[in-house]
Amino acid sequence: MSSCAGRNKTDAFRVLALVLLFGFALTLPLAAEDQKPAPPPAPSEKARDVDRAAPSSEAETESAALDEAVSVSQGNPQALIKNLEAFLEKYPKTARREQVLRTIYRQALQGNDPRKAAATAEKLLELNPQDADLLGALTDLYGHQNDRASHEKALQYATRFIEHAEKISDEKRPSEIPAEKWSDVRDLYRATAYSMRGKIYAQSDENGKAAADFEKSLASYPTAQVAEQLGDAAMKLSEVPRAIDAYATAFMLPDKRVDTARREQIRRKLGSAYARTHPSEQGLGDLILARYDELARSHPARFAAEGNGNAEVRDPLEFVLARLDGTPLKLAEFRGKVLVMDFWATWCGPCRLEGKLFERVRETFQAEKSVEFLAVNTDEEPSVVSNFVKEEGWKVPVVYARGLNDFLGIRALPTVLILDAEGRVVFRQAGIDPGSFVATLEGKVHQTLAQRDSAAASPSD
């Protein structure tokens, strides 16, 4: 098999870097790299010592068990998680425990299973108590769950995250971050920590504490989103002047995560707050211009192009993509259906072939109203994409990813995913084996539809 980017790991097995690490051979389908995947974690000295000390028969038995746990999952993230958890139950003292847990964690995130991801992240945190990425992830994962116990856990992890952020010093600067950028990185890190805890306080109507955290976040690194959240908290506290000031900042401060529709909503909030203390909006324009001048002087580098508004989405079916003509496509419209997506780019040679085969699969299910197909471009120049689609004669709906590829961990192109009716990733295949692609994908779609129908027919608990 050839590849336009050389020998690459498929995304379905990229997260299984530990398998490659342990010497298992994988058959690689045709793939073009979207971006260079991170190298697999090297085994620790302790792990190597364990492997050297263990009898070869025991090591081979464990390796065979891990190999089987991966192979029988057949690209299904949910099955892979169960198989790897069973492996850890059977081999609780394995030297590969951390690598296996990290694989389960990534699969849970990519498979849209936040509770599993949180439970696994906690196990990883036990091994690495000062891992700031895990502290932030746990804050976010528990913060998006609605029960009281999760809320308390989110606050605990957020506070630990803040404590870690406050202790960051020049001596802790990673070598890969230039010294001149380190101050901005620290400020953004601290701002993120406080804004995350502020959101959790706001969720439980602890608005005084929320506003205090939002103020600290804005003082470190102001963003339109946090300024709007401060305005909301201030309004609930009946602190109208504070709310007006915050909304004006949110309205005028460029933020790549705030789209036009969101900015219009901020404008309405600002007008409503201003009307609380003024008979009309006369004078509001002067206030906005003054805030613009102030922000432009204080943060000149921040006034840049605005982004797509999907930054804080945590459910793939909440993403808003864009059609070729620029109109929005809400994936929420497909909730309850099976969604099949082919991620591609014009520069990717294998994507041309997969696009034609993907169209054949779509035609097979043309009359099935419970399944939808999308060809998801990874946000290239619109004119290039439009011309490419016309030349290839694609009839499958084409949309721009708007960050969905990053959210779902797409690292190689082409990659095809299937989301079930609940938005969970139940199949992932990177690269293309032309001889088996159509039969494999059709089989997986039929299987997912059957599982959907079975779940619908089963009585609820």
Q: Write down the CATH number for the domain with range 316-457.
A: 3.40.30.10
Reply yes or no on whether the pLDDT at 28 is more than 80.
Answer: no
pLDDT classification of 312: cutoffs 50, 70, 90: low
**90, 123, 91, 132: which is closest to 104 by C-alpha?**
123
Pairwise CA distance, residues 336 & 59, whole Å: 45
Cis omega (within 30 of 0) for bond into 41: no
CA distance readout (Å), 343 to 18, 194, 381: 25, 35, 15
Q: Give the pair of three-digit tokens for residue 162.
A: 């803040």
Reply yes or no on whether the pLDDT at 7 is more than 60.
Answer: no
CA distance readout (Å), 238 to 202, 273, 277, 289: 15, 10, 11, 25
User: Which has more confidence, 453 or 225?
Assistant: 225
446-457 pLDDT, tens digit per residue, is 999 998 777 666
Element (H, E) at 426: strand 425-430
Percent of the chain with pLDDT over 70: 80
List own/partner pairs for 80-86 with CB under 8 A and 24 or more apart: 80/107, 81/107, 81/108, 81/111, 81/113, 81/116
According to the model, what pLDDT value does residue 171 have?
63
234-255 pLDDT, tens digit per residue, is 999 999 999 999 999 999 887 7
According to the model, what pLDDT value does residue 351 have?
92
pLDDT classification of 293: cutoffs 50, 70, 90: confident
User: Which has more confidence, 51 or 69?
Assistant: 69
Pairwise CA distance, residues 334 & 51, whole Å: 48
Cβ 252 vs Cβ 227: under 8 Å: no
Lowest mean pLDDT among 52-56, 127-131, 337-341: 52-56
Pairwise CA distance, residues 185 & 202, whole Å: 26
According to the model, what pLDDT value does residue 193 have?
93
Taking residues 170-175, report their average pLDDT: 69
Domain map of the chain by residue range? 222-311, 316-457
Reply yes or no on whether the pLDDT at 282 is more than 60.
Answer: yes
**84, 81, 58: which is closest to 69 by C-alpha?**
84
364-404 pLDDT, tens digit per residue, is 999 999 999 999 998 677 778 888 898 888 999 999 988 88
List own/partner pairs for 16-19 with CB under 8 A and 24 or more apart: 16/70, 16/103, 17/41, 17/99, 17/103, 18/66, 18/96, 18/99, 18/100, 18/102, 18/103, 19/66, 19/67, 19/70
Pairwise CA distance, residues 117 & 102, whole Å: 10
Quick check: pTM over 0.75?
no
Taking residues 268-292, report their average pLDDT: 91
132-168 pLDDT, tens digit per residue, is 889 999 999 998 888 889 999 999 999 999 999 888 8
The phi, psi pair for 360, rounded to 5°, reads -65, -40
CA distance readout (Å), 374 to 27, 229, 397: 27, 34, 5
198-212 pLDDT, tens digit per residue, is 999 999 999 999 999
Q: Which residues neighbour 444 within 8 Å (Cβ) at sequence distance 6 or greater? A: 75, 418, 426, 427
Sequential DSSP letters for 367-386: T-TTEEEEEEE-S--HHHHH
According to the model, what pLDDT value does residue 130 have?
83
